[in-house]
Chain A
């Protein structure tokens, strides 16, 4: 999450008064970065993955599993150890690890949830194929190091959400009672959040700005014994500690929905995020646009979130829950009341699919853009006056419709144009599914694009597979000059579709039929324009974009078709993202062992897409449905939860011996391949 500077955070009423100043300074800082870095060129492909973990207390013989709130202690242990390492006095185990691996040790970070950890590689990856092979061992190493700095019964696991977060009873250790002053949640204690002042302030100010608690309602899965209509039995309508306790009496918890009421239910989810450095701003903008339509597809493919607060949900992914959990919109912004104090209506939460394209690509037709995009016209004007083009200025003017949520009094003293803190304040609390990241101050990092929708996977093999796939598809996009543009509202619809149970197999997504560029005619031939004066191939101007109806450019396709290509029986002729990646690899010099391992990764994804293998969501549902204690009533009780967590731990630590239907989930659990794994 970054931005952990200490200071005096302003409560919402104070923060609100200063929001405008932060925005104004943010715009100035953005222009300073942009002017400094717009000509930055030829940065290498560097990329990084982020793995987020839940930390659980698990004992085979104790039916009660809890989330460990010892994040600070664990990080402290890790930090101390690294210091020791730097001084050459590490614990022997770690020292061995370091010597064998060569590259720097992974880096651990705090996250919103006090039961979470985030780990990134010690240095960014490159595009060398050997680097791609290092990803999975490095992820395993991160898990191992994390585990080594925990108590014996603590485990870092990579489930997106903790199945019984917010259930009645004890789900954290140590135990804290809910209904604290910050979150005012009737399900989770304030201590669920990272105690660093930024995080509780973020949660409190979102609630305060919104004027009530956040409402995270997920449709419950209706099983054969689920009472119907279903009323969330854990909701307490008689609580009178805080004004917000009225929320449920005012209809915050509708029938047939699992009701949750705090930021932790969303921001306590684990994701798999990949950040790519682009060659320059132009390539970054292009990658941002081309990755956007892939978001919902990868989200459905990585679906891993079928349980909330001890109940089976009727959705498979985490996205909308996070979106609701940080939704700070006022009733006016939501359109529930006429606009009086708020500046505009906002159709989306701060956490949402991105709403506009930013490339200067001539293939970006205006029909792909949302005509109702909300922007701050003053911000756009300032950016354009500062020299920024309209397309990019529109993007940032859209991000700047929000208020900064956490403002530190110390930062309001004076504007420092060599820093990016005010800009980042808004940028980093716009949680869109793709993020365009300008170079940070004070180092040589370039323009970057972050791909954020994927759900964390249970094993490092899967996490490596999806990370590597994303790297390869960006290389294919740039090499083949692929075009995935569809109207951006279709991506919103696809994000909704991705939530459905087993959307990966049963639902269809809007996708562009022909991703290939149109051929540019020879510039000096009779029919080629010869306007461009230079003769480097890179400057060949594109042919005019064909202007058939936009609706003819895309179609509803299954994930299988999008990933593996249209079947010959189909009237579509979509090549498939995996065949595109394979064609890319065919043109590269790849050694046999690397290709073998990459083949194992692509095979996993191919089979997830065509249904041969199950998503984690499906495997978890199957695990619950077939557990002896499950009563067909959508309730995931403590014993089921215990055994599920036990199975998840076993998959990573004991190769999943005896875990139910593991082969349907991961295929044959041998190493990726004979030699390489």
Chain B
């Protein structure tokens, strides 16, 4: 069994992949585009210099893609397989950690085993701490699968939300977050996409309360009034976001790693007769991290890790 660790590195200076386009304003595009461009960049950077000029980009014909060998730009440590490889000596922030507001959002994916969430959470937090070179994070928001604020009417959306997700699983998953909070690794905890009824039920049953509920409503001026009221009363901050609820579907992941023009050439695709890794691919979690220089409002570092399990 191999754990694939995909990373984007710092996407702030990555250009167009992070800019909202009309009609495509959900951030799973940001994730997939920035993963793809980081793969390409690593392939270019780690290729032998002579062939680097145009071996990767110029191939418009699928059959003639010439990529550097995966071993050149990826790395393996035991069962962990980094795509691309990460030079940890380059990690860290420009100023000392106290200057930053660090927000981390962890997406538990629906394909993953719920019982693994504690481990996934620790892995995700540790990767981010290592990447940013900080001892703690300011806000950790978790996003459970199957939750959304869909619907034209905000009341309706809030109602629907009440029946989404799985209360028992979510509350069970929360204890590892409470542990991180109690250890001082995470200063504040948050949830995503909890409507008023779900949030009320949740608040009643946890020890360390979430201080943030991040919601994605079509129009931020139309937050469901019951949620607004509850949040005010319970002092839960309602933040906006623009993330996709289904952030990394397995089809997208396969395409990203596959042999197609837009793939990284990691996974085997027998129909093309090209070798690569084979097996069942299960996306497990995605983590997004953002480091903002607090009193200047400048985003210095933002990126993603996405982890999937490959059963060979």
Contact = CB atoms under 8 A, between A and B. Distances in A.
Interface of A: 42, 44-45, 126-127, 279, 475, 478-481, 516-517, 519-528, 535-538, 565, 573, 575, 579-580, 582-584, 586-592, 595-596, 599-600, 673-676
A535 B92 CA distance: 9
Given A44-B296, A517-B15, A536-B92, A591 B46 contact: no
A590 B240 contact: yes
A520 B290 CA distance: 20
Nearest to B10: A537
Interface string B141-175: 00000000000000000000000000000000000
Interface in B278-312: 290, 292, 295-302
Given A521-B45, A522-B87, A523-B90, A589 B101 contact: yes
B297 A45 contact: yes
B207 interface: no
A527 B20 contact: no
Interface string B8-41: 0010111110111110000100000000010001
Among B20, B89, B103, chain A packs the most CB atoms within 10 A around the CB of B20
B192 interface: no
A480 B300 CA distance: 9
A676 B91 CA distance: 40
B6 interface: no
Contacts of A675: 221, 228
A344 B213 CA distance: 64
Interface string B114-139: 00000000000000000000000001
A375 to B, nearest CB: 33
B206 interface: no
Contact of A565 (B15, B22, B52, B223): B22
Interface in B82-114: 87, 89-95, 99, 101, 103
A51 to B, nearest CB: 23
Contacts of A590: 239-240
A526 B45 contact: yes
Contact of A592 (B13, B240, B296, B297): B240
Given A479-B12, A527-B52, A127 B94 contact: no
A126 B19 CA distance: 25
Main DSSP-derived SS at the B contact region: mixed
B239 A592 contact: yes
A592 B238 contact: yes
B231 to A, nearest CB: 9
B268 interface: no
Given A591-B237, A592-B228, A592-B239, 6 more contacts: A516-B15, A516-B16, A522-B41, A523-B90, A590-B240, A592-B215
A596 B92 contact: no
Contact of B297 (A127, A538, A580, A596): A127
A475 B20 CA distance: 16
Among A45, A535, A538, A587, chain B packs the most CB atoms within 10 A around the CB of A587
B109 to A, nearest CB: 21
B184 interface: no
A599 B295 contact: no
B255 to A, nearest CB: 22
B47 interface: yes
17 contacts: A44-B295, A126-B295, A475-B297, A479-B299, A522-B41, A523-B90, A526-B45, A527-B52, A535-B89, A537-B10, A565-B22, A575-B19, A579-B20, A587-B292, A588-B292, A588-B299, A589-B212
B176 interface: no
Contacts of A587: 18, 290, 292, 299, 302
B7 interface: no
Contact of A591 (B10, B20, B52, B240): B240
A475 B296 CA distance: 8
Interface in B198-238: 212, 215, 217, 219-221, 223, 228, 237-238
B299 A279 contact: no
A674 B44 CA distance: 51
Contacts of A45: 295-298
Contact of A522 (B21, B42, B52): B42
Among B37, B45, B241, chain A packs the most CB atoms within 10 A around the CB of B45
A602 to B, nearest CB: 11
A590 B242 CA distance: 11
B296 to A, nearest CB: 4
Given A523-B90, A536-B92, A586-B27, A481 B12 contact: yes
